Amino acid sequence: MLDLQRLAAHHAAELLRFERENREWFARSVPDRGDAYFADFDARHAGLLAEQATGACHFHVLVDAEGAVLGRFNLVDVADGEAELGYRVAERAAGRGVATDAVRRVVVLARQAYGLRRLTAETTLDNAGSLAVLRRTGFTPVGAVSLDGRPGLRLVRELTADD
């Protein structure tokens, strides 16, 4: 069973391993984080936890039974009942419904735990997997965007009491 957990200090080492192991995989569909991300990871992780403590963001990791991180699912820029969803899943977990299941869980958390009413997400048009996950989880396209010069799509999901 995979467990969706709120990001905590004890996740740092596994999260860094996840990012390093999947760096090339992620770079195929999203901009690379750059070497500085990895060099300053501990400080960056502490900064995320401090930001999360303010309520401006809600960060989550999806872990397997051994505690290995298989994905990140983040709600950022929380304001006025809205947030932006961002996520990434390990290559070894891709194509197995892991992202769809976790996004569904984050939608429930967004509504029930964080009191949000609306989520947005963006992805590039060539990221068919992410587009499929967002559509399967109730996100609808609302317009075109450019993500680091690549054509993309902005999607929205209204949250209801049923979520």
Residue 30 in any domain: the answer is yes
Task: Scan for tokens 């999947």, then name that residue.
Answer: 22
Residue 35: band (very low, low, confident or very high) from pLDDT cuts 50, 70, 90: confident
Average pLDDT, the chain: 94
User: The dihedral of CA 1, 64, 83, 127: what is its sign?
Assistant: negative
Lookup: tokens for 3: 């467990």
Residue 29 in any domain: the answer is yes
Residue 147: band (very low, low, confident or very high) from pLDDT cuts 50, 70, 90: confident
Q: What mean pLDDT comes out for the span 104-114?
A: 97
Q: Report the CATH number at residue 63.
A: 3.40.630.30
Backbone dihedral region for residue 67 (phi beyond 0: left; psi -120 to 50: alpha; all else: beta): left
Residue 163 in any domain: the answer is no
pLDDT (tens digit, 9 = 90+) per residue, 36-76?
A: 888 999 999 999 999 999 999 999 999 999 999 999 999 99
pLDDT (tens digit, 9 = 90+) per residue, 114-142?
A: 999 999 999 999 889 999 999 999 999 99
Q: Which domain holds residue 45?
A: 3-158
CA distances from residue 51 to 4, 140, 154 in whole angstroms, order as listed:
19, 29, 24
Q: What mean pLDDT comes out for the span 13-21?
A: 95
Report how many domains make up the chain: 1
